[in-house]
Every structure is written in structure tokens, then in C-alpha cells.
């Protein structure tokens, strides 16, 4: 019911669509903390990620720009004192936007870029193990944009398609992932056209 009231309230305003020649700034932030208790000790996990994008709308329906993502994941338990993963990606994106009316627009982003990851584990005997991997990613993300006021809006997506690969420097393992999460994932971001 609260979601319906929010959507209804947002649609009652007078809005303006993004114009050709405008600059798009958007991003999302995520934080998650979890504690699991077991008879032999607790397992604590925390995760933080930040994903900014900046683009230029060179046509009424097309925007191109750069995107980045930074993520940190940390885990503490009885076997490993600390396990930490740091992710970084940098790439470009192209967006096609189809306005439905002055309030709602449907868009799809295609993003491609470089990524790296560093995994560190510190054992109880203070033995630190580090692994580094580099690779590429590609994503296709459909989403809905709600124009709240003068180009400032909310972005809702429910998943998409993604491909990731990481080749680790020690040569012991490679990581490849194809992900189809349409309808399974949900995220909200904010954006502003200047």
C-alpha cells in the first residue's frame, strides 16, 4: 500500500523530461551487515558498494558516458580472523531512453568495461593470503525512470543480463560468470539531468 501511495504522489507533480545536450549524473549506494551465530562462534559479514555514472545526452533518446563501481566485502569468523574482498570496475555505457509520458521513461543501459578484484585472508596464525584478478564485464540493464522534479528522478530496475570474467595473477584459478536475473533482483538509484 505504501508503494502505491508513493507512486501516486510522484505522478501528481508537473515534470520536465531530459533534453538533448544535458549531462546525466546518477548512482547508487548499498550497505549490508549480517551476523550469524553458531555454537563454535559468530560469523560477521559486511558489504559496501558505490556505483556512480556520468553521461552526456547527445540525442533526445541516447546518452553515453562512463560508469564505475567500488565494493568492499568483509567477513570475520573463527577460521579466518579477517577475509576481505575489494572490487573496482571502470567502463563506458550507452543508454537508450523511451519516454512514456512526462513522468515515466523506460530505458536500457549497455555497459562494458574493465574490473579487478583483490581477496585477502588473514588466518589465526597471522598468515595473510592475497589473490588478485583482472578481467572484463558486460551488462544489459532495463529500468524505469520516474521524473520527480526538473530532471531529478528515481531509477528502478529488476535485474538484467551480465557477463564477468576474472583471471587471477597466480594462474591457479579463473572466474567466469553469466547472469540472468530479470525479475529476481531489485534496486533503486537516483539521477539528475543538468
d(CA 2, CA 14): 21
What is the grid cell recorded at 132?
588478485
Mean pLDDT, residues 10-32: 65
Q: The pTM is what?
A: 0.76
Mean pLDDT, residues 150-159: 86
Question: In the 8-state DSSP scheme, what is residue 171?
Answer: S
| 78: pLDDT strictly greater than 80 | no
Chain segment 100-143, per-residue pLDDT in tens = 998 999 999 999 999 999 988 777 667 778 889 999 999 999 99
What is the grid cell recorded at 27?
548512482
Check residue 10 and give its pLDDT. 35
Q: How many CA atoms lie within 13 A of 167 on its CB side?
A: 4
What is the grid cell recorded at 49?
558498494
Check residue 175 and give its pLDDT. 85
**What is the distance of C-alpha 42 from the center of its chain?**
29
Nearest to 91 by CA among 162, 172, 16: 162
d(CA 58, CA 43): 49
What is the grid cell recorded at 103?
513522468
Average pLDDT of the chain, as a whole number: 83
d(CA 11, CA 26): 21
Q: Quick one: which H or E segment has residue 95?
A: strand 80-99
- Report yes or no: 144 and 159 within 8 Å, Cβ to Cβ: no
d(CA 84, CA 3): 36
Strand 174-180 and strand 104-123: the pairing is: unpaired
Amino acid at each position: 500500500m505504501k508503494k502505491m501511495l508513493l507512486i501516486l504522489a510522484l505522478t501528481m507533480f508537473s515534470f520536465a523530461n531530459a533534453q538533448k545536450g544535458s549531462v546525466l549524473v546518477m548512482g547508487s549506494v548499498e550497505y549490508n551487515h549480517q551476523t550469524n551465530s553458531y555454537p563454535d562462534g559468530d560469523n560477521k559479514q559486511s558489504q559496501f558498494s558505490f556505483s556512480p555514472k556520468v553521461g552526456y545526452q547527445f540525442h533526445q533518446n541516447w546518452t553515453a558516458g562512463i560508469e564505475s563501481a567500488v565494493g568492499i566485502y568483509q567477513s570475520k569468523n573463527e577460521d579466518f580472523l579477517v577475509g576481505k574482498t575489494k572490487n573496482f570496475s571502470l567502463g563506458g555505457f550507452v543508454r537508450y531512453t523511451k519516454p512514456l509520458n512526462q513522468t515515466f521513461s523506460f530505458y536500457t543501459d549497455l555497459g562494458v568495461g574493465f574490473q579487478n578484484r583483490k581477496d585477502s585472508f588473514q588466518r589465526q596464525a597471522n598468515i595473510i593470503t592475497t589473490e588478485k584478478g583482472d578481467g572484463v564485464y558486460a551488462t544489459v540493464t532495463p529500468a524505469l525512470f520516474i521524473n520527480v522534479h526538473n530532471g531529478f528522478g528515481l531509477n528502478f530496475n529488476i535485474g538484467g543480463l551480465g557477463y564477468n570474467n576474472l583471471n587471477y595473477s597466480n594462474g591457479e584459478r579463473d572466474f567466469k560468470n553469466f547472469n540472468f536475473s530479470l525479475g529476481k533482483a531489485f534496486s533503486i538509484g537516483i539521477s539528475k539531468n543538468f
